[in-house]
Structure formats: structure tokens, C-alpha cells
Structure 1
Amino acid sequence: MTFRFSAGRMQAALILAASCLAAPLTAAAQTLVPPPAIEAKAYLLMDFESGQVLMASNADQALPPASLTKMMTSYIVEQALKSGRIKPNDMISVSEHAWCRGSSTESCMYLPLNSQASVMDMLRGIIIQSGNDASKAVAEHLGGTEEAFAQLMNKEAKRLGMTRTQFANATGLPAPNHLASARDLGILARAIIRDSSEYYGIYAEKEFKFNGIKQGNRNALLYTDPTVDGLKTGHTSEAGFCLVASARRNGMRLISVVMGSKSMQSRADQTRAMFNWGFSSFESANLLKAQAPAGVGAVRFGVADQVRAGVARDWSVLVPRGQAAQVRTAVQMQPNLTAPIAKGAVVGKVVASVDGKTLAEQPVVALEAVERAGFFKRSWQQLQGLFR
């Protein structure tokens, strides 16, 4: 598939790259190859580590997500497994509502009516086979009804910061007000990779056999690109062909979202083109290590007069190749920090910049607790404050 670039598109791509990074077009940035032309209703390419968007179009438009919906269904199952609410070998029943009725017109795991399957079989049926029956069955198992489970999905979407998403079912079958944006689906993909690491390997499995029926994963990139390890395909006549994918190369992980593409081939080609552009155009600048002191803030009324601050997780950002050494960080502590301060409480932020222009920001947290001082020390500090 050939991707063409006009002069106008090249200029727009450079502007897009600069705005995504919130940095000036330095000499290195000016040589950035423009992103490929993507023919889809919406698309996005995101850095997994930072959530930084490298290229996008209509990323906040709410669109029918088709079976990309099942990413939230599987995420909730995975988190229920992590919490111990359900066990891998728990058996889930197939109601008449969940049963596919032997239909070949929808994606099914082909679970027999009134049968049972284990949680892990159901999870594979959702992720690999895109089973509507498996999705409905786990929805009823965890939520009582599919409608109640949809409310759990919406609650989880809100918690993750998915602001343009509304779920009406667990499958992605067309329904009024069942919508999601490309940006929100990127956020969800990050959450799956980050929070469901024990189960993320399932998203790369190429086939699954159940009840004597073997079906292949519809993510074509799993068969052609060894760096791709997930996540989910989707298709309805209303939504078009959709794909959320992730790839890891040389320690860098990118997430792509394509919604409303014209065919299975085009969604794969467009995703591949975005990955190739992103990995070849950007490099990672590793800025701060988790729990390492990055700054110190003054504390009022505390046993200690200061608190050390740092990032909760390792922090890196992507920059156009050749700019990593130019990134600078500065910690900005909140004014008037007052004890008690809990370990892990947000006490400020760290700002990454190039040539004085902000690239990204990250909260900094207290690396130790600061207890409230006794009455006499607090009184003395209040008295000192009167004469400043």
C-alpha cells in the first residue's frame, strides 16, 4: 500500500508533531519525516509510557467502537481475577441471553446453551475469538445482567479518564449511545498493558480451540510483525473496520488506534505504517527513576521541616530523534505544604522542557511521611510567621 505526502500535508505533519510534543521546531525536529496519510474516521498513535500522542485525527470524536468494546469487558474480568473476586477455574454458565444460537452472523465462541466454561476459557474466547456469547456470559456472572455490567464498564471508564465513552453492552453490538473515542481506547489499552500484565500475553495468542472449534485471532499484525503483541479488532457495518494494537521495539512501546477503516487489510496496513513512522521518528528520553529524590519542599508544622519528592513510576517522554540530550527537568513544589503529609501524597510536579518550552509534566509525590509536630513547635512556627 502506497502513502503519498503533499507539501501541505508535510507542513501540517510538522505542526502536528510540534504541538503534540509542546516543543519548538528545533533543527532536529524540522527533519522529522511527516506521518503517513491514514484513511479512517479517527486514529491515534500514543506512547505507552507517558500517554503522549504522536499523531492523531478526530481522536476525541465519539464513534461506534464495535468489538473494541470487549477490551473493557476483558479488563474488568482481569481486574476481578487480580482482586480474587473470581478464580481462574471458576465456572460460568451460558444463559439463553448469552447463547449465540448457532449463528454465523456474529462473532461467537460457540458455547452450548446451558453449558459452563471456566473464567480463563471465557477470557480467551473474548480476546482471541471476540465471542459475543462469552462476553455476555461473563457480564451476567459479574454484573447480574448485561445492563448492570454495562454500568460497571461506564464506572471503570470514568475512573480511567475515558471522557468520551459510553457503554450500553459488553459486546459492541450496535446500540444507541454506545460510543467511544480513539483517545479513550488508547487510555484503555494502556490500562490493560499496565494493570493486567499477568494476562496480557493472551492478547498475542493467535488461535484458541474450544468445544472442538478452533478460531484464529483477527489481528493480522500478529502473524506478520513479531513486535506486535495485542490488542483487539472490531467490525460492524456502522463502525467500519477497527483495530487497537500495541508494539514494542528496542524498549519503546507504542499503542495505535484505527476506527472506521474500509477493510481488514487497510486497518492492518494503516496500523503498520503508524508504527513504522513512530518507531523510526522518535526516541525515548529517560528522565527520572521511581522513588529517587528529585526535589525538596518546605513543610509547615511538621516534625521535619522538609519533605523529599520524586515520581511514583519511572518517567520518560518521547522526542524527535536527536533531541533526547536537550531535555531538562525542573521540580515545582506546592507552596505552603502543611503536615501531616502521607507518603505517596502529591506535593508538586516536575516539568520536562526543551529550550524552555514544556514537553510534559508529571506529579511528584512525598517519598516519606511527615508527621504533624507537637503543640509547642507549631506555636513557635506560627509566632515566627507573624514577624516575616
Structure 2
Amino acid sequence: MSSGWSRTRSAARSGLRKTAGAVLLACCPAAAGASPAPIQPMPPAEWRTPTVDEAPIALLVDLASGQTLFAREEERRFAPASVTKVMTIYSALSRIAKGQMKLDDRYAVSPAAFSAWRRRGSTMYLAADARPTVEQLLLGIAAVSANDGAVVLAEGAAGSTDAWLGWMNADARRLGMRDSRFGSVNGFPDGGGTYTSARDLVRLASALIDEHPRLYRHFFGRPGYTFNGITQRNHDPISGVIAGADGLKTGYTDEAGYTFLGSAERDGRRLVMVIAASDTARQRDRAARALMEWGFQAFDHHRLFAGGAALAQAQVQGGTRRTVGLVAERPLGISVPRGTRPAVTMKVRYEGPLAAPIAQGDHVADLHVRIDGLPPYTVPLLAAQDVGVAGPLDRILNGFARWLR
């Protein structure tokens, strides 16, 4: 059964250095020397959502609220091409955070990797006798889409690309990426073995940014990367063009078309977007810039609750408490079309009563939000405190309290 309530009206060579066990971010390449050129604002006439011809698949989500601002075919499966490498990077950063890998670990280029990936597609030009660090490989993968770098990273860390793919797919399942499977560590065509959806890619980008904010800023949004004396530029169509843009990754194959997973942050509000299956790079890039700017300019954002604020109570069965508080992990707000006051309805839903034990932070309920004229969306609600299993005396007292109501 469900319980609810409603409310109306919400460049290239800088790296990381380890000192006394802490990770210190070196300066960004663009900051070494001349300041980057100021970003010119996009004319209002160019703020818009993409046409279906420009972007058959498109999604724009406000991470500050979890709200979908624009969606087209967001759950349709497609081949992500090199955007696959964002999953590869996420799996690496997750293991770095756990101490299972280090940024200064060095991995040898195996003869098989050199033979298969030397100058094949996007590359960082790894030599046969190279022993790059994990940091160098991740910079090559993130900034210049290095196919060879992704394979060397996977083999070095997991022993084989198959073992690494096991990690990637396990991470995807943990993140709730239900429409994703990875059969390639770099997104190279594999006969349909690798696929994802726009909704899943937004989940991935959100986890990457939330869980690894400093490393995200270090590896993404760079204008390019220099390795082994060769400088290449990043093909990210929004970083340095759209104010606040800082990544993530482009992709292209004949099978997939042109794809982009991107993000930008302004005034504490972060948007993540997916453009997929475009026919040309020009269409994809134009659609990405126009949609991201539209997302910031066409909406007013209203903050409703601080992160951790109690939103409701859920009934508990068999616990040391009869109810548990429900909180949102992030500050909760809503974005509405600029200058409008649409009706807003919010309902808390959960399968209840909840069975004890419950741990603080468990996802136990959802807040369903409807704003007239916009797609509905859901915000996970977490238990605000631990609830243990009731002992005999607790059960008697709880039963008596229910009888008195």
C-alpha cells in the first residue's frame, strides 16, 4: 500500500600530485599563462530545444532538482560509441576512491594492445614500450578519447578487458542503469554488444560528478591534452563556449551516429544533457549548445527545502519507532518556465508500512512531482534515522499506542 501527501506551488600536462596522502590538484593548463578568452553569451534567438532531425534522442535534466526539462526518446537504447569511456572512467575513479588503484600506478602497453590499437581511431599514441600512469591514461581517455588508453587501463588494472568489463557492468547495475550493457571498454563497434539510453547516461554523469567532484574537475572540460610531445584538442562542443560548461564526452561511429553527454553548472544549478543519433557533428554540436543555454535561460529555479530537511514521516512496522522521517539527499527545488506560475503537485509514495530494521540513508520512499506542462519526475527519499527491530516491550507499547489513536 502507499501513503502520500500533496503540496501545491520548487592544458595539457598539469596533473594531480600526492602529498602526505592527500590529492592536490595542479593548475589547469588553460590557467598556466594567458587567461582563457571570455565566453561570449549566446543570442536569445539561439536558445531552443533541438528538432528531431538534429537530435532523434535528447534529454536535459536539472540535477539540482532531478527534474527533466526536456526529453525525447530518453529510454530508447542506442550505441554510445566513445561516450562508453565515461563508464570506463567512472569505474576507474570508483576504484581509486577505494584505494584499489592509484593515480601514479604505471601500466605497461601489452603487445596485443599495441598491435590492435596503434593509431586505430582516436588515440594518445602510446608507444610499444610505454608505461603510462593511470592519471595520464585517464587524461587521454577523457580529453582526446584515447581508444588505446582505455584498453591499456583495463588490462593493467584488471588483467584483461573482459575482467574490466565485468567491473563496468557491475557498476552500471549498482547505479540503476537498467538499459545499459558494456561489451567494449572504449565504445568501438562490437556488433550491438554495447548499448545504453539517455536516461542511463544522465544517471552515470550524476554519479560521477557527485561521488568524485575533484577528480571530475581535473579530468573533464580540458581544451586538449599533450602526451609524448603530441598535442590534440578536445572535441567537447560546449566547454569554453557555454558559460559553466565542464564536460563530458563526445562519441561517433557509423553505427551510432554523433552523440554527446555534457554538463554545465551556474549559480549552484547543474544541468546534464544527452544528444544522440545525430547525422552530423555540426547538428549535434549546434543542438547541444542551444539546448544547454535554453535550460539555463528559459526557467526560473525555486528552492523549496534544504538538503536533509524532513519532508514527511513514513509508518514503520516491527520497529523501535512507529515512524521514520523522510529526507531528500540534496536541496529540493523546482524549475518552472520563466515568468509562469504553473500548478505543482507533490506526493510521497512508499510500500508500507516499512519493515524494520531500517538504516539511516536507506532509500525507502519517493517524492513524485508534477508540474503542469512539464514531464513528471521522482526524487528519492531517504530514512532520516536508524530504526531497530522492536523488542517485546517495544511491540507492546507500539500496539498500545496504535489502539489509543
TM range (shorter): 0.7 to 0.9
Partner of residue 3, structure 1: none
* Alpha-carbon separation, structure 2, partners of 1:42 and 1:325: 27
Partner of 1:252: 269
The match for 2:361 among 344, 348, 373 is 344
Query: So what's the TM-score if we normalise by structure 2?
Result: 0.78
1:114 and 2:129 aligned: yes
Distance 2:385 2:151 in 1: 45
Q: Between the two proteins, what is the percent identity of the paired residues?
A: 33
Higher helix share: 1
Q: 1:28 corresponds to which residue?
A: none
Q: Is the 8 A contact 2:66 2:378 kept in 1?
A: no
C-alpha separation in 2, matches of 1:150 and 1:338: 36
Task: Answer with 335-344 or 54-63: which moved more.
Answer: 335-344
Instruction: Determine if contact 1:352/1:358 at 8 Å carries over to the other structure.
Output: no
- d(CA) in 2 for partners of 1:345, 1:178: 31
Task: Report the Cα offset of residue 120 of structure 1.
Answer: 0.6
Q: How many residues align?
A: 356
- Confirm or deny: 8 A CA contact 1:43 1:57 kept in the other structure: yes
Distance 1:131 1:345 in 2: 38
Say whether 1:146 aligns with 2:161.
yes
Kindly tell me: are residues 362 and 242 of structure 1, through their superposed partners in 2, closer, same or farther at Cα, counting changes over 3 Å? closer
Distance 1:347 1:133 in 2: 43
* Number of the residue aligned with 2:49: 35
Deviations 1:191-247 (A, max 9, x none): 222222121112111121111111111113223223211001112222222221112
Specify whether residues 263 and 387 from structure 1 end up closer, same or farther in structure 2 by C-alpha distance, changes over 3 A only.
closer
What is the deviation of 1:151?
2.4
**Aligned to 1:186, which of 181, 202, 225?**
202
Distance in 2 of aligned mates of 1:304 and 1:219: 51
Deviations 1:131-186 (A, max 9, x none): 11110011112222112222222222222222222211111111112222222222
* Structure 2 counterparts to residues 90-239 of structure 1, below 5 A: 90-99=105-114, 103-176=118-191, 177-201=193-217, 202-239=219-256
Tell me how far apart the structure 1 counterparts of residues 75 and 331 of structure 2 sit (CA, whole Å).
28
Give the Å deviation of 1:94. 0.8
Show the counterpart of 1:307: 324
Deviation at 1:292, TM superposition (A): 2.0
| Range with greater deviation from structure 2 (364-373 or 66-75) | 364-373
Aligned equivalent of 2:35: none
Return 5+ residue gaps in structure 1 as ranges: 1-23, 25-32
Task: Name which of structure 1's ranges 315-324 and 270-279 shifts more when overlaid on structure 2.
Answer: 315-324
Rounded Cα–Cα distance in structure 2 between residues aligned with 1:243 and 1:363: 27
Q: 1:378 to 1:174 in 2, by over 3 A?
A: same
Could you tell me how far 1:304 is from its partner in structure 2?
4.2
Alpha-carbon RMSD? 3.0
Q: Which has the higher contact order (CA 8 A, sep 6+)?
A: 2
Cα distance 1:53–1:97, how it changes in 2: closer, same or farther (>3 A)? farther
